[in-house]
Amino acid sequence: TQLLEQSPQFLSIQEGENLTVYCNSSSVFSSLQWYRQEPGEGPVLLVTVVTGGEVKKLKRLTFQFGDARKDSSLHITAAQPGDTGLYLCAGGLRGGGNKLTFGTGTQLKVEL
Amino acid sequence: GAGVSQSPSNKVTEKGKDVELRCDPISGHTALYWYRQSLGQGLEFLIYFQGNSAPDKSGLPSDRFSAERTGGSVSTLTIQRTQQEDSAVYLCASSLGQGAIYEQYFGPGTRLTVT
C-alpha cells in the first residue's frame, strides 16, 4: 500500500511552461518535504512544510501543504531545463516515529 | 565539508552470494537511514539508526537483510543469499536530529545488480 501518491508520474514540457505536481494521501502528516533527485545522485531537500495551509516560495517554485495535512503541491513557474529531475514528496506520519514515507515520484523533463 | 559517502558505487553479484554495502555519514550526524530505490521510483525505507538506541528495522524486507552501525558512525548493510529482486539502488542518508522533520542528506547510492 502506497501511502503517498504523486501525480503525474511523468511530465515532459517545453521551457517556459508552468506545471504542478501533486502529492496525496489519506493519512495525516506532521510534516512534509519535497526533494529533487538527479541521475546518479541522492535526493536533495528543497523545502519542509509543517503547518496546514502553509505556502512556501523558493524562487520559481511554490510549495503548498494542504489544510488537513494530507496533501501537498509543487508549482513551478517558467520551467527551465535545469529543473529536470525526479521530484519526490516525503512525509513524517503522525505516530510514525522518526522515518520518512516517500511518494511514488514525478519524473520531470524540461526541453528547450 | 564532506557529504555522505557510499561504497561501492556499483556492485554486480551472482544470485546466492552475500554483499556488503558501506555508508559513511556526515560527521556529527546522529541519525542514519537506509533506503532502497527501484528504477525511477520513490524510496522504500529499510532501517533507521539513532544514537545508541535500538534501530528501527521495520522496513527490512526479509531476514536476509541486516545492518549495523559501528561506533555511531559508519554503517554496513548486508544482504545474504542475494536474489534478482534485490537489484536496486541502495541509498544511505544521515541527519542531525531525531525526527522526520530534520533534513536528510543523501549519499550517491550503491547500484546493486544481481545476475
Across the interface, whether the CB atoms of A86 and B40 are under 8 A apart is answered yes
Could you give the CA distance from residue B105 to residue B22 in angstroms, rounded to a whole number? 16
Cβ contacts of B44 on chain A, cutoff 8 Å: 102
Our CA-based measurement puts residue B17 at a distance from the nearest CA of chain A, in whole angstroms, of 25
Could you give the CA distance from residue A33 to residue B107 in angstroms, rounded to a whole number? 18
Gap between the terminal Cα atoms of chain A: 37
Length of chain B counted residue by residue: 115
Mean pLDDT of all residues belonging to chain B: 92
DSSP B59-96: T--STTEEEEEGGGS-EEEEE-S--GGG-EEEEEEEES
Average pLDDT of the residues in A3-7: 91
A99 and chain B: CB distance < 8 Å anywhere?
A: yes
Q: pLDDT-based confidence at A20, cuts 50/70/90?
A: very high
Q: Write out pLDDT tens, residues B6-18.
A: 999 999 999 999 9
Across the interface, whether the CB atoms of A98 and B31 are under 8 A apart is answered yes
CB A20 within 8 A of CB A79: no
- pLDDT for the residue B61: 94
Across the interface, whether the CB atoms of A48 and B101 are under 8 A apart is answered yes
Name residue B97's beta-bridge partners: none
Cβ contacts of B58 on chain A, cutoff 8 Å: 99
Q: Write out pLDDT tens, residues B28-65.
A: 999 999 999 987 678 999 999 988 888 999 999 999 99
CB A47 within 8 A of CB A56: yes
Integer-rounded Cα radius of gyration of chain B: 13
- pLDDT for the residue A2: 64
How many other CB atoms sit within 10 Å of the CB of residue A80?
A: 12
Across the interface, whether the CB atoms of B42 and A4 are under 8 A apart is answered yes
CB B25 within 8 A of CB B92: yes
- pLDDT for the residue B48: 92
Average pLDDT of the residues in B88-99: 90
Report which of B7, B8, B4 is spatially closest to residue B28, judged by C-alpha positions.
Answer: B4
Across the interface, whether the CB atoms of A31 and B100 are under 8 A apart is answered yes
- pLDDT for the residue B100: 67
CB A25 within 8 A of CB A19: no
φ, ψ of residue B22 to 5 degrees: the values are: -115, 145
A73 and chain B: CB distance < 8 Å anywhere?
A: no
Q: pLDDT-based confidence at A75, cuts 50/70/90?
A: very high
Our CA-based measurement puts residue B77 at a distance from the nearest CA of chain A, in whole angstroms, of 17
